[in-house]
Amino acid sequence: MSGGQPKVPAPFSCTYSPNIPELLQQLNCTLALSTYQAGKVVLLSSLDGERLIQLPRTFRKPMGIALEGHKMAIATLDEAIVLANSPELAQHYTPKPATYDALYMPRATYYTGQVDIHDLEWGAAGLYAVNTSFSCICRIDDNYSFTPFWKPSFISKLAHEDRCHLNGMAMAEGRPRFASAFNTGDSRQSWRENITETGVLIDIHSNEIIAGGLPMPHSPRLFDGRLFVLLSASGELAEVDIDSGKTKPVCRLDGFVRGMCRCEDYVFVGLSRLRQNSSTFAKLPFAHQAKQAGIAVVHLPTGALSGFIRYQSSVDEIYDVRVLPGLRRPNILNPYEAQHRLGLSTPEATYWANPPSDH
């Protein structure tokens, strides 16, 4: 027997399948995840196809992440922060020059107030957000805290009451097309009753419910015209027949699934550790197995589990997972620290300014 205390894992320690670094290199992408519980957006990149390297960056309760071209937006506690990638600033990033191939710099902040934004997406009219507190999908701009775009037909009025726990949206042709919610209630936090049995998917165009009785649906996504959703309370990635509403399991992941994106034939799914003090989560069929957060990789054509990333420390709950295509090792700066103020961009040039003097 050896004495002493057991070794505590370093912050953000993770284990992963040996094929993951090679797969990310093959797909020529980096993964971004948001963990509101840890207050971080984490970038996971392959280093020479042999090991993963992480860059955790602080944001206040980060939730949905939206990507379009060179832009990224992050929903936080009471703001939506817009960042823009500058490869030129990345190349000359003062602390580590010639290290990164991208650098997401804060460029604008929308002050939404605490409306509990979940999914966030770029669309033809700008930023769309699932406004969970007000049970609606809204647009985010510089005119108001938010501009309502759509609410379910069963919600009688906008109120700061999180009536049905509207949480996810799937985009099509630049507009929200499908939405997920935990129930069809119209009173304050009505969704907390029978939480694992009352979830719905809603066709936003027709305002009709296309699938019901779902176990805590999250992260609806359209992949090549096919609708997929994560069923968090059963630990499944499922495909939904848009016409019949029938769901077909693609892969069972035995964990609380939330946050999903695709790159080529692979789908990356967020896994959260179940809250130990939650009476609701304790009843889930995989409660004894969901002890680690991470990312599962599913080969979509076959439904086979292709690999995983599992956190040993720091990360317990993941909200969103996104693919940053074409980026091998990106960096991101938050708006809270001084470094980002020195990176200056114009349409023609970029500059790293000198730090201000003390006098």
At 9-21, the pLDDT tens digits run 899 999 999 999 9
pLDDT tens digits, the chain, 359 residues: what are they?
345 566 788 999 999 999 999 999 999 999 999 999 999 999 999 998 999 999 999 999 999 999 999 999 999 999 999 999 999 999 999 999 999 999 999 999 999 999 999 999 999 999 999 999 999 999 999 999 999 999 999 999 999 999 999 999 999 999 999 999 999 999 999 999 888 899 999 999 999 999 999 999 999 999 999 999 999 999 999 999 999 999 999 999 988 999 999 999 999 999 998 766 666 666 666 656 667 899 999 999 999 999 999 999 999 999 999 999 999 999 999 999 999 999 999 999 999 998 776 55
Burial 114-136 (b: 16+ CB within 10 A, else e): ebbbbbbbbbeeebbbbbbbbbb
Are 241 and 292 in contact by the 8 Å Cβ rule? The answer is no
Give the burial class of 94: count Cβ atoms within 10 A of its Cβ; 0-12 exposed, 13-18 middle, 19 or more buried. exposed
For residue range 204-215, list pLDDT tens digits in order.
Answer: 999 999 999 999
Q: How far apart are CA 114 and CA 100, in angstroms?
A: 34
Say what the pLDDT of residue 276 is. Answer: 62
* Cα 77 to Cα 40, 50, 61, 67, 74, distances in angstroms: 12, 36, 5, 19, 10
Residue 174: closest CA among 239, 222, 242: 222
Q: Which CATH architecture has domain 14-352?
A: 6 Propeller (2.120)
pLDDT reported for residue 236: 95
